[in-house]
Structure 1
Amino acid sequence: MRMKKRVVWAVLAAVLMCLCASVAVAAEPFDALSEAEKVELIELIDSGTAAYDAGEFQTAVELFHRAYELAPLPDFLYRLGLAYERLGEDARAVEYYRSFLNAEPQAEERGRIESTIEVIEGRLARRARTSIEVITRPEGARVYVGSREDGMRGVTPIELNVEPGEYRLIVELEGYEVVEEQVQVPQGQRVVLRPGLTPQGGFAEADRSVWRSTWVPVSLAVVGAGALVLTPVFNGLANDAAAERSELLQDRRSTQNEVDKYAIERREATYRGLTIGAAVVGGAAITTAGALLVWQLLADDAGAGAEQAGLEAVGVGPLGDTVGVGLRGRF
């Protein structure tokens, strides 16, 4: 029995020496453990290492977290950084790598770990600027990148961090036709994909809200321009009625003049009201159309493979007997 205990302690000491560059640092949290906790720590280390070697990185993360809670040894931070990096959780990996370097400033692996951190942070910076956002109606569609064999990336609405390049996206939702799109993602841009989902045996749902349609600001602009054109017309009619009323006021010989005067005043008031109303409606429609158009131009609503939406040029020139404003761009 005594020989068995010696073997256990010898194995434990050897493992702890591999875990830490400094045995003196490692000894303090280890010495505070009970015999049962020391045995549990050995089991956690063995199981976590085996899980990592088998590619079961999530299990390794859970085991190394438990081991660190039991004995806060710096090496567990490094192992957690490795496991998180293999899981693709780069931000968490950097956190644990830095925590390890702070706990072990003289670590032999410092140079290599710092180089790894630099590579990961560069990757994170690129991902922060380059992505594909997939939005569907209804929501909850499964999104695959490349092929189904590569695994589902998530469900809509979702934003996928990707490297610049061309991607094949597959969007699936039960009861709807499968949608496949080729998406070109430029460096430093977020491409928004709004695939129209077609019910099986039905019609496609609109992939844009009515407010994102170009016809809305165009229609508002036409209405506003028409109202503004009618403003001077109504004003002219009102002025004619006022002039007619003035002439009538000079002749006060008959009762019929009073009746005509009343009718002319009503007509003048009507045209004055129409003048004000046309001006208000025209100004409001033009302003709303302009604001909506600007919102649509600035909205990041580029489709798959489409060039970035935006305003390229504005021009003013003759349009029949009047002057028109022209816009050029992708809307």
Structure 2
Amino acid sequence: MMFMKMRVCGAALAAMVVWLFSATAFAADPDQIFEELSEAEKVQLIELIDEGSAAYDDGQFQQAADTFHEAYELAPLPDFLYRLGLAYERLGEDARAVEYYRSFLNQVPQAEERGRIESTIAVIERRLASRAKTAVEVITRPEGARVYVDSKESGMRGVTPIDLNVEAGSYTLFIELDGYEPIEERVQVPEGQTVVLRLGMEPEGGVGPAEPSFMRSTWVPVTLAVVGVGALALTPVFSSQAEAAGREGDEILRRADGRTAANNAAKEAADRREATYNGLAIASPIVGAVALTSAGVIFVWQILSDDPAPERGVSAMGVGPMGEDGMGVGIQGRF
């Protein structure tokens, strides 16, 4: 009897999933996610789908959002992200609606209704554009981590990468991804600025991420900068040595009673030194400029790269107005 009941639940769940995904043309096969659920969890998922859909149809959009949050926690299917976007759009929470719509499109890039969803996002963002943007952008490696703001009880805000529209203030972000250590990050968001968080998630069990590449080391731009400054500093030294060698050659000719073999050899040696130092005086500023430019390019690349080093690097960057007439950039990290 129990076996027959489980089969009925499984069939009901399959039918419910077909109905649930038909509205958004979800292309991925959810069987793997379902197989990981126990029979009790499958029954619970059916109940949550029914409850959330009924609440949405009855205009109880907050209840629908809460229910779909719970369903996503049980089975992280992208379709629930889309339905959360719908619920928050009906609640008038435009920023959160955009967050969930974008999270859905990131999870299902080939969704058949992508064009309509993107049009909806564009309409909402035009409404949001009239207000100064104060936000936190969260980028993780790997992507797909769940993001909560201040507490998990308030509900998931979406999955990474995500752009969270918030009020100015201080927040605690909780980032979770199955198989990885959770992250708790405190962030201060100034008015009218977007703070960017780039976070590398470590696998559970103490297995750290791969060692950063040589080019991600902070010593690379530092070493290039030192070489560049040193080369520029040596330029006047080389010029002085070239002038001294030239004067030495002229002095040899003035002192010579005649152009003997010894005088000619001494003059040729002075000319060679003069030519060598002249070449170094020309090359050293070029080397210095190239080294300093390379140091700056590598430093900027290290700041903007999505692959943060585990111990050093930039963890947050903010861009926004500073004072009455200027713009400012704030950088946070370990170097």
Bigger RCO (CA 8 Å, 6+ sep): 2
Q: TM-score, normalised by structure 2?
A: 0.49
Q: TM-score, normalised by structure 1?
A: 0.49
Larger Rg: 1
